[in-house]
Structure 1
């Protein structure tokens, strides 16, 4: 089972911020977070957003919106 634990590095050693039973010899994966975590998460999520929003499949919807043909509850929008 995957478990995430917060830790800090002090004098080259990883110190957990919370108590946890770790079996001797347990394998761990350590991910270093940049000092500015906000910037890290923005950059990380941008890749997913680019994949979702920057695609040619949605171009047909853009054309329909420009022509004013949008079915459903959003038909009251008027584009200038």
Structure 2
């Protein structure tokens, strides 16, 4: 399986999909308050804990801070296999 680039992951998020699995991220709750309230979305796979927030069900999704590293490019050789 080919490695996923940060660009590929960002594209999936722009479409409201999980950056790793590519499946649609359904609403699982709400985040924020008042005019800033957004949908809390998450990957539906049981083995994936990726969550984010979105203004619209079709994306784009903004990852929660604990998952933001998924969009950072990694220097060659920095990821262990």
Q: TM-score range by the shorter chain?
A: under 0.3
TM-score relative to the length of structure 2: 0.24
TM-score relative to the length of structure 1: 0.24
- Structure with bigger helix share is 1
Structure of higher CA gyration radius: 1
